[in-house]
Structure 1
Amino acid sequence: MTNESPEEKPELVVDSDWKSQVEAENAAIDEKNRSEKNPSVEEEGQSQDIDPSQIPPPSFTLLVTMFSTQAMSALGLIPHPITGKREIQLALAKHYIDLLAVIDEKSKGNLDDNEDKLIETTLHELRMIYVQQSSTIA
């Protein structure tokens, strides 16, 4: 038994303002996290101006490099740009390799020696890695 008499009841203090304080703190934390994750992104629906001097000039080499980078990411050779994890996605890798093959096929006779060697070497290396990755998964 307790030492309290039946007439004495503990006083219950209710602080009704705590909920609004917690909500305000959570909103401030969420806003801070959003600004830290995307410091260069402005308000939703608005885009930032891109400095044209930072964009490489269009070229055959850039085109091959872009597709081969995507294929390498899908083969798990480089981390996925969004998740940061190495993910093997063979169907996607095959798609990018096939796109490079289409470019190779359609540009035959129109490339200089360096461009021709670049696409042939890139396709050969990506195909070998694809075969290796598909045999380890199967």
Structure 2
Amino acid sequence: MPRTQGGIRPMASESDKTGGCCGQRSGQEPCMPPVSFITFILSLAQSAMVLMGEAPDPESGRTLSNLPEAKHTIDILAMLDCKTRGNLTSEEKEVLGSLLCDLRMLYVKKQ
């Protein structure tokens, strides 16, 4: 596959990796959800929840609290809100706004 500027190759599409199905890949790795703006912001929100001690760390199973990192993650979501304004679907806008409101309220309670 040809390399793009900077030496980074484009990734194959998810259907290329899975043969068009969303079952198990040949290496028995679980199929990941499709990449979308909503799954991306939900992933960031989940990270913020873990960093505020509201959910266990998925790898260790331990509950931790790191409010400065949680705030940084919330700030990333706020930056995405500003930078994508006018370019989101109504569903994406609603999900992002709701996540930001909920995370900010939780952060204030945790301080």
Question: Structure 1 CA distance, aligned partners of 2:33 and 2:71?
Answer: 26
Counterpart of 2:69 (choices 81, 89, 92) is 92
Letter matched to residue 75 of structure 1: M
Counterpart of 1:119 (choices 96, 99, 105) is 96
Which structure has the larger Rg? 1
Once the 2 structures are TM-superposed, how far is the Cα of residue 50 of structure 1 from its aligned partner? Answer: 6.6
- C-alpha deviations, 1:70-115, integer Å up to 9, x for none? 0000011101223322111101101110111111111000011111
Q: Give the total of aligned pairs.
A: 86
Identity of aligned residues (%): 35
Structure 1: gaps spanning 5 or more residues:
1-47
- In the superposition, the TM-score normalised over structure 1's length comes to 0.58
Question: Structure 1 CA distance, aligned partners of 2:44 and 2:28?
Answer: 22
Question: Structure 2 CA distance, aligned partners of 1:91 and 1:50?
Answer: 37
Once the 2 structures are TM-superposed, how far is the Cα of residue 116 of structure 1 from its aligned partner? Answer: 0.4
Structure 2: gaps spanning 5 or more residues:
1-25
Counterpart of 1:107 (choices 71, 84, 101) is 84
**Quick check: 69-78 or 84-93, which moved more?**
84-93
- C-alpha deviations, 1:38-89, integer Å up to 9, x for none? xxxxxxxxxx9475x7021110110111100000000111012233221111
C-alpha RMSD of matched pairs (Å): 1.8
- In the superposition, the TM-score normalised over structure 2's length comes to 0.71
Once the 2 structures are TM-superposed, how far is the Cα of residue 128 of structure 1 from its aligned partner? Answer: 0.3
